[in-house]
Amino acid sequence: MVDLMSIQKNAQQIAEAIASVLGIDVEIADNNLIRVAGTGIYRDYVGQSMASQGYIYREVMRLGYEIVIDNPGKHELCQPCEQKGHCSEKYEIVYPINVDGVSIGVIGLLCFDDEKARRVKQNQDSYLTFLGKMAETLALKIKEENYLKGLVYSNRYFKSVIDCLEEGLITTALDGKIVHYNKTAQNLLGKKVSSSDASLELLFGSKRAEEIIDVAGKGQKVLEKEIRLDAGSEKLQLMIHARPITAERGVQGIAIALNHFTKIKRLVNRYSGNEISYTVDDILGSSEAVRRLREKIKSIASSNSTVLIRGESGTGKELVARAIHNCGSRRQGPFVAINCSAIPESLLESELFGYEDGAFTGARKGGKMGKFELADKGTLFLDEIGDMAQYLQVKLLRVLQERQIERIGGLSPIPVDVRVIAATNRDLEKMIAQGEFREDLYYRINVIPIDVAPLRERKEDIEVLCRHFIEVYNQQLNKEVRGMTEDFRRKLWEYSWPGNVRELQNAIEYAMNLADGDVLSVEHLPVAIREAQEQDEEETFKLDMLERRTIVRCLKRYGTTVEGKKKAAKALGIGIATLYRKMARYGIKDVDV
Ligand SMILES: Nc1ncnc2c1ncn2[C@@H]1O[C@H](COP(=O)(O)OP(=O)(O)OP(=O)(O)O)[C@@H](O)[C@H]1O
């Protein structure tokens, strides 16, 4: 609340006015008994405390109404006063200044000679009415100041609120002149928005400005528009939402929200799971093939060259692509995946490159951003690239060469900074020979080839993968499975895994659901795996299997202590170091024996 001291100038003016009309000295004090204003002899004491002699003033503020002292020194309120015996006052009127029922100060009218005292006495009623009006004027001034202070405060408050927004915000008058803008808008648009002649036309050009101003004429309609601007050396891509500001007297202006596309992309990527981060350490396996795969990923991750990952379905190609992204310098950017075979040909083009407003019948209003734009500064994973239609292969090749895309129906190219990782399980060379895949694109994407071996060629990975999946499903299903029987292992080993790691994962999930104890056994396996026959062409793996089984049998006989292992190695006709190596290769752990 504003106090009397903060309107000191007004108080002094009123004191002077009273003094000149009535010809009598006046002082005004606040509720701390500080003299706020004064005329005549009191003028020199403005700002000083009257606490030691302000009995009457204090009493008037306590009561909230005026007091007339016609016999100063003798009046009962004068009794405690130090000046009681030698008071020079002859007559005194004290009037309270009340604001909303609370006294915030007083006006004191003081007579020092008999003639003035007589005059006041004679006209006491009209003097009191006049002082009342003056007290009211001061009270009104205080209220007005309070109101203005409140306005300034709420203005500052709302300004800090809109400055907190991550969204840029501009408001304009109906002619497009900028009225307000927040910090984000200033950061996005720079001086253009804060200059004294700032207008929509200056910011966005006359055509866009007209479209936005048109919003005001259409009442409640919201305009959603994508805008590209030149911001120095950079191109600024913004999404704007304009809506009319409606007040009591109808539409008063336009509010425009601005969003930078980088922020929109970040949100899309976050909520579409594009930020799941897998690293090389998530690629499990003890085989030489997987070991080399992890090394290769590390060595090529920081390059920007296109990668072609080849491997059967379920071998972990997407996992590899994510690991490349997360090991390299683009890991802060998005990883966007698209499966070229899962999307109808007609939609794939717009999914990849996006489209402009009204590009074709059925196109979403305001246009759409494609995966290339979403993957800007990150990685685009093109899964099943072998299934991409030829005309899109041409478009893709152009994008890879020119590093810019053109939206469907778009007029200007949009630069994109994207590392492409493609994957396929098809024989691209054969497809080229049959004219189904473009040779030029093949060379463009096959800069860094990576092969992911099928699981049947690296069966030693089964053990570590199984252990991992058992842990995963122990957590998910709240179970406590600790191992697998030897028969269970043998079945997994003998099976040819056409669906690779994905199939293995599903088989373990299935078994974990069925398991009731702490060990997985053959009856928990899906029928297809349980009853699969060993195939002749997998003779080599049968030999492996035989070797593994023999080692396990031998360890069972001699035990897994160091001494037992030495005996087992001797019985097998191999050195102890070879036994350890083979145990590691086949994933044989002491506890399994
Ligand atoms: N080496 C591995 N370590 C751990 N998990 C793996 C490994 N390889 C594959 N997986 C898991 O197997 C499943 C299939 O992997 P992914 O989707 O990467 O295969 P893909 O080759 O891309 O399959 P598709 O060709 O069908 O798209 C995923 O759950 C993945 O996490």
* Ligand 1 binding pocket mutation candidate from 294, 315, 469 (most atoms within 8 A of CB): 315
Q: Which helix (H) or strand (E) holds 294?
A: helix 288-300
For 70-96, give the secondary structure using H, E and C.
CCCCCCHHHCCCCCHHHCCCCEEEEEE
Which amino acid belongs to residue 339? N
Ligand 1 atom at minimal distance to the Cα of residue 311: 21
Q: Which parts of the chain register pLDDT below 50?
A: 536-539
Q: Is the CB of 283 under 6 A from ligand 1?
A: yes
Residue nearest to atom 30 of ligand 1 (CA): 316
The whole-model pTM stands at 0.62
Give the count of alpha carbons within 13 A of 392, CB side only.
20
CA of 502 to the centre of ligand 1 (A): 6
From 482, 484, 522, 529, select the one nearest 503 (Cα to Cα): 529
Q: Is the CB of 4 under 6 A from ligand 1?
A: no
From 139, 227, 244, select the one nearest 185 (Cα to Cα): 227
pLDDT tens-digit series, residues 397-426: 999 999 999 998 887 888 999 999 999 999
**Taking a C-beta distance cutoff of 8 angstroms, is the pair 95, 131 a contact?**
yes
pLDDT (0 to 100) of residue 537: 44
Q: Which helix (H) or strand (E) holds 540?
A: helix 539-558
Residue nearest to atom 7 of ligand 1 (CA): 316
pLDDT tens-digit series, residues 127-171: 999 999 999 999 999 999 999 999 999 999 999 999 999 899 999
Q: Residue 11 is encoded by which pair of tokens?
A: 């108080």
CA of 284 to the centre of ligand 1 (A): 10
pLDDT (0 to 100) of residue 533: 65
Q: Which domains does the chain possess?
A: 4-146 (3.30.450.40), 165-261 (3.30.450.20), 272-453 (3.40.50.300), 483-592 (1.10.8.60)
Residue nearest to atom 12 of ligand 1 (CA): 502
Q: Is the CB of 464 under 6 A from ligand 1?
A: no
pLDDT (0 to 100) of residue 389: 93
Q: Is the CB of 313 under 6 A from ligand 1?
A: yes
Q: Which helix (H) or strand (E) holds 26?
A: strand 25-30
Ligand 1 atom at minimal distance to the Cα of residue 322: 18
pLDDT (0 to 100) of residue 275: 60
From 343, 403, 340, select the one nearest 376 (Cα to Cα): 403
pLDDT (0 to 100) of residue 364: 63
From 593, 547, 586, 295, select the one nearest 460 (Cα to Cα): 586
**Taking a C-beta distance cutoff of 8 angstroms, is the pair 87, 73 a contact?**
yes
CA of 55 to the centre of ligand 1 (A): 91
Residue nearest to atom 10 of ligand 1 (CA): 316
The gap between the terminal CA atoms of the chain, to the nearest Å, is: 85
Residue nearest to atom 15 of ligand 1 (CA): 316
